[in-house]
Amino acid sequence: MIKQLVMATNNANKLREAREILSPLGIEVLSQREAGANCDPEENGATFAENALIKARAVYEAVKLPTVADDSGLCVAALDGRPGVYSARYAPEGQHCAKLLDEMKDVPTDKRGAAFVCSIAFIDENGENYGVSGRCSGSIGYEQRGTNGFGYDPVFMVGEKSMAELTADEKNAISHRGAALRELYKYLKERYGE
Ligand code: IMP
Protein backbone atom coordinates (compact mmCIF):
# COMPACT_ATOMS: atom_id res chain seq x y z
CA MET A 1 0.00 0.00 0.00
CA ILE A 2 1.18 3.53 -0.62
CA LYS A 3 0.62 6.04 2.19
CA GLN A 4 0.90 9.27 0.25
CA LEU A 5 0.56 10.57 -3.27
CA VAL A 6 1.26 13.97 -4.71
CA MET A 7 -1.27 15.82 -6.85
CA ALA A 8 0.73 17.78 -9.42
CA THR A 9 -1.19 21.01 -8.88
CA ASN A 10 -1.60 23.86 -6.41
CA ASN A 11 -5.19 24.45 -7.58
CA ALA A 12 -7.35 24.28 -4.42
CA ASN A 13 -10.46 23.06 -6.31
CA LYS A 14 -8.62 20.16 -7.95
CA LEU A 15 -7.04 19.19 -4.62
CA ARG A 16 -10.34 19.23 -2.78
CA GLU A 17 -11.99 17.06 -5.44
CA ALA A 18 -9.11 14.57 -5.43
CA ARG A 19 -9.10 14.39 -1.63
CA GLU A 20 -12.86 13.84 -1.48
CA ILE A 21 -12.90 11.05 -4.04
CA LEU A 22 -9.67 9.28 -3.02
CA SER A 23 -10.02 9.65 0.79
CA PRO A 24 -11.70 6.23 1.34
CA LEU A 25 -8.40 4.65 0.20
CA GLY A 26 -6.60 6.04 3.26
CA ILE A 27 -3.95 7.65 1.03
CA GLU A 28 -2.91 11.18 1.98
CA VAL A 29 -3.08 13.53 -1.03
CA LEU A 30 -0.40 16.24 -0.93
CA SER A 31 -0.28 19.31 -3.14
CA GLN A 32 2.92 19.73 -5.10
CA ARG A 33 3.84 22.66 -2.85
CA GLU A 34 3.35 20.53 0.28
CA ALA A 35 5.56 17.86 -1.29
CA GLY A 36 8.27 20.45 -1.97
CA ALA A 37 8.09 20.35 -5.78
CA ASN A 38 8.35 23.67 -7.51
CA CYS A 39 7.87 22.86 -11.17
CA ASP A 40 5.80 24.24 -14.00
CA PRO A 41 6.75 22.26 -17.12
CA GLU A 42 5.76 23.37 -20.61
CA GLU A 43 2.51 21.59 -21.55
CA ASN A 44 3.42 21.01 -25.18
CA GLY A 45 1.73 17.62 -25.69
CA ALA A 46 -0.72 17.03 -28.55
CA THR A 47 -3.32 15.38 -26.30
CA PHE A 48 -4.73 15.74 -22.78
CA ALA A 49 -3.12 12.41 -21.87
CA GLU A 50 0.33 13.57 -23.02
CA ASN A 51 0.06 16.82 -21.07
CA ALA A 52 -1.09 15.01 -17.93
CA LEU A 53 1.94 12.73 -18.19
CA ILE A 54 4.33 15.68 -18.72
CA LYS A 55 3.04 17.32 -15.51
CA ALA A 56 3.10 14.08 -13.50
CA ARG A 57 6.60 13.13 -14.68
CA ALA A 58 8.04 16.56 -13.76
CA VAL A 59 6.71 16.35 -10.19
CA TYR A 60 7.64 12.67 -9.79
CA GLU A 61 11.24 13.38 -10.84
CA ALA A 62 11.39 16.22 -8.28
CA VAL A 63 10.00 14.33 -5.27
CA LYS A 64 10.16 10.60 -6.14
CA LEU A 65 6.74 9.93 -4.62
CA PRO A 66 3.69 8.43 -6.40
CA THR A 67 2.17 11.31 -8.35
CA VAL A 68 -1.13 12.15 -10.03
CA ALA A 69 -1.62 14.92 -12.61
CA ASP A 70 -4.62 15.93 -14.65
CA ASP A 71 -5.12 17.85 -17.83
CA SER A 72 -8.49 18.94 -19.05
CA GLY A 73 -10.32 21.14 -21.46
CA LEU A 74 -13.39 21.79 -23.55
CA CYS A 75 -13.96 20.23 -26.98
CA VAL A 76 -16.65 21.90 -29.12
CA ALA A 77 -18.01 19.88 -32.06
CA ALA A 78 -18.83 22.89 -34.24
CA LEU A 79 -15.23 24.12 -33.81
CA ASP A 80 -13.71 20.76 -34.81
CA GLY A 81 -12.83 20.00 -31.19
CA ARG A 82 -11.33 23.37 -30.31
CA PRO A 83 -10.23 24.82 -27.94
CA GLY A 84 -9.19 21.31 -26.76
CA VAL A 85 -5.68 21.21 -25.34
CA TYR A 86 -5.53 24.99 -25.82
CA SER A 87 -8.52 25.62 -23.52
CA ALA A 88 -6.52 27.53 -20.90
CA ARG A 89 -4.71 29.61 -23.54
CA TYR A 90 -7.80 30.26 -25.72
CA ALA A 91 -8.35 33.84 -24.45
CA PRO A 92 -6.95 36.29 -21.89
CA GLU A 93 -7.96 35.62 -18.24
CA GLY A 94 -11.70 36.18 -17.73
CA GLN A 95 -12.56 36.37 -21.44
CA HIS A 96 -12.86 32.68 -22.37
CA CYS A 97 -16.66 32.48 -22.16
CA ALA A 98 -17.27 35.73 -24.03
CA LYS A 99 -14.91 34.73 -26.84
CA LEU A 100 -16.52 31.29 -27.17
CA LEU A 101 -20.06 32.74 -27.25
CA ASP A 102 -18.91 35.11 -29.98
CA GLU A 103 -17.38 32.30 -32.05
CA MET A 104 -20.59 30.29 -31.64
CA LYS A 105 -23.04 33.11 -32.31
CA ASP A 106 -24.24 31.76 -35.70
CA VAL A 107 -24.24 28.06 -34.74
CA PRO A 108 -27.78 26.57 -34.50
CA THR A 109 -29.02 24.82 -31.35
CA ASP A 110 -28.69 21.28 -32.71
CA LYS A 111 -25.01 21.84 -33.59
CA ARG A 112 -23.86 23.26 -30.23
CA GLY A 113 -22.73 19.95 -28.70
CA ALA A 114 -19.55 19.98 -26.59
CA ALA A 115 -17.72 17.88 -24.03
CA PHE A 116 -15.39 18.54 -21.14
CA VAL A 117 -12.58 15.97 -21.19
CA CYS A 118 -10.10 15.09 -18.44
CA SER A 119 -7.06 12.82 -18.58
CA ILE A 120 -5.26 11.74 -15.43
CA ALA A 121 -1.77 10.28 -15.31
CA PHE A 122 -0.62 8.29 -12.29
CA ILE A 123 3.05 7.49 -11.73
CA ASP A 124 3.61 4.74 -9.19
CA GLU A 125 6.37 4.15 -6.62
CA ASN A 126 8.52 2.50 -9.34
CA GLY A 127 8.15 5.35 -11.83
CA GLU A 128 5.70 3.41 -14.07
CA ASN A 129 2.73 5.32 -15.44
CA TYR A 130 -0.96 4.51 -15.85
CA GLY A 131 -3.65 6.69 -17.44
CA VAL A 132 -7.42 7.13 -17.00
CA SER A 133 -9.87 9.61 -18.49
CA GLY A 134 -13.37 11.00 -18.03
CA ARG A 135 -15.84 12.94 -20.12
CA CYS A 136 -18.92 15.09 -19.55
CA SER A 137 -21.21 15.79 -22.50
CA GLY A 138 -23.30 18.94 -22.83
CA SER A 139 -23.79 21.91 -25.11
CA ILE A 140 -22.76 25.53 -25.42
CA GLY A 141 -25.45 27.96 -24.24
CA TYR A 142 -26.27 31.42 -25.58
CA GLU A 143 -25.29 33.47 -22.53
CA GLN A 144 -23.25 33.17 -19.35
CA ARG A 145 -25.26 31.76 -16.46
CA GLY A 146 -24.35 31.07 -12.82
CA THR A 147 -21.45 32.03 -10.59
CA ASN A 148 -20.12 28.69 -9.28
CA GLY A 149 -17.22 26.75 -10.75
CA PHE A 150 -14.62 28.28 -13.04
CA GLY A 151 -13.45 28.52 -16.65
CA TYR A 152 -16.13 27.64 -19.21
CA ASP A 153 -18.73 26.53 -16.63
CA PRO A 154 -21.10 29.52 -17.20
CA VAL A 155 -21.56 28.62 -20.90
CA PHE A 156 -21.54 24.81 -20.62
CA MET A 157 -25.12 23.54 -20.41
CA VAL A 158 -26.05 20.20 -18.89
CA GLY A 159 -29.78 19.92 -19.46
CA GLU A 160 -31.53 23.11 -18.34
CA LYS A 161 -28.70 24.39 -16.16
CA SER A 162 -25.22 25.67 -16.82
CA MET A 163 -22.35 23.94 -14.99
CA ALA A 164 -21.89 27.21 -13.04
CA GLU A 165 -25.45 26.88 -11.68
CA LEU A 166 -24.64 23.51 -10.07
CA THR A 167 -23.32 23.07 -6.52
CA ALA A 168 -19.80 21.63 -6.14
CA ASP A 169 -21.27 18.23 -5.21
CA GLU A 170 -23.65 18.22 -8.18
CA LYS A 171 -20.77 19.10 -10.49
CA ASN A 172 -18.44 16.43 -9.06
CA ALA A 173 -21.12 13.80 -9.61
CA ILE A 174 -21.23 14.42 -13.38
CA SER A 175 -17.97 16.17 -14.27
CA HIS A 176 -15.16 14.89 -16.47
CA ARG A 177 -12.67 15.25 -13.61
CA GLY A 178 -14.98 13.45 -11.17
CA ALA A 179 -15.38 10.59 -13.68
CA ALA A 180 -11.62 10.31 -14.24
CA LEU A 181 -10.91 10.45 -10.48
CA ARG A 182 -13.45 7.69 -9.85
CA GLU A 183 -11.67 5.55 -12.49
CA LEU A 184 -8.38 6.25 -10.73
CA TYR A 185 -9.97 5.34 -7.38
CA LYS A 186 -11.04 1.95 -8.80
CA TYR A 187 -7.55 1.29 -10.14
CA LEU A 188 -5.78 2.25 -6.90
CA LYS A 189 -8.25 0.26 -4.79
CA GLU A 190 -7.71 -2.86 -6.88
CA ARG A 191 -3.96 -2.45 -6.86
CA TYR A 192 -3.27 -1.27 -3.31
CA GLY A 193 -6.46 -2.06 -1.39
CA GLU A 194 -6.45 -4.60 1.40
P1 IMP B 1 -5.96 22.56 -16.92
O2 IMP B 1 -6.42 21.14 -16.91
O3 IMP B 1 -5.77 23.09 -15.54
O4 IMP B 1 -4.80 22.77 -17.84
O5 IMP B 1 -7.20 23.42 -17.46
C6 IMP B 1 -7.48 23.61 -18.81
C7 IMP B 1 -8.55 24.65 -19.01
O8 IMP B 1 -9.75 23.96 -19.38
C9 IMP B 1 -8.93 25.51 -17.82
O10 IMP B 1 -8.19 26.67 -17.75
C11 IMP B 1 -10.38 25.85 -18.10
O12 IMP B 1 -10.44 26.93 -18.96
C13 IMP B 1 -10.86 24.61 -18.84
N14 IMP B 1 -11.53 23.68 -17.91
C15 IMP B 1 -11.05 22.50 -17.44
N16 IMP B 1 -11.92 21.92 -16.59
C17 IMP B 1 -12.97 22.77 -16.51
C18 IMP B 1 -14.18 22.74 -15.73
O19 IMP B 1 -14.48 21.83 -14.95
N20 IMP B 1 -14.99 23.81 -15.91
C21 IMP B 1 -14.71 24.84 -16.74
N22 IMP B 1 -13.59 24.93 -17.44
C23 IMP B 1 -12.72 23.89 -17.33
Other Cβ atoms within 10 Å of 137 Cβ, number: 12
CA 72 – ligand 1 centroid, Å: 5
Domain of residue 141 covers 4-192
| CATH number of the domain bearing residue 163 | 3.90.950.10
What percentage of residues in the chain have a pLDDT greater than 70? 99
Mean pLDDT to the nearest integer, 54-58: 97
Query: In Å, what is the CA distance from 130 to each residue of 52, 68, 194?
Result: 11, 10, 20
> Which residues, in sequence order, are CB contacts of 149 under 8 Å at separation 6+?
163, 164, 166, 171
Per-residue confidence band for 40, with pLDDT thresholds at 50, 70 and 90: confident
Query: What are the tens digits of pLDDT across the range 116-153?
Result: 999 999 999 999 999 999 999 999 999 999 999 899 99
CA–CA separation, 194 and 118 (whole Å)? 28
Domain count, the chain: 1
Residues with CB under 6 A from ligand 1: 70-74, 87-88, 96, 116, 149-153, 175
Residue nearest (by alpha carbon) to ligand 1 atom 23: 151
Q: Residues 71, 102, 110, 169: which is the catalytic one?
A: 71
Angle at 83 between CA 79 and CA 86, to 5 degrees: 155
Per-residue confidence band for 163, with pLDDT thresholds at 50, 70 and 90: very high
Active site residue 80: no
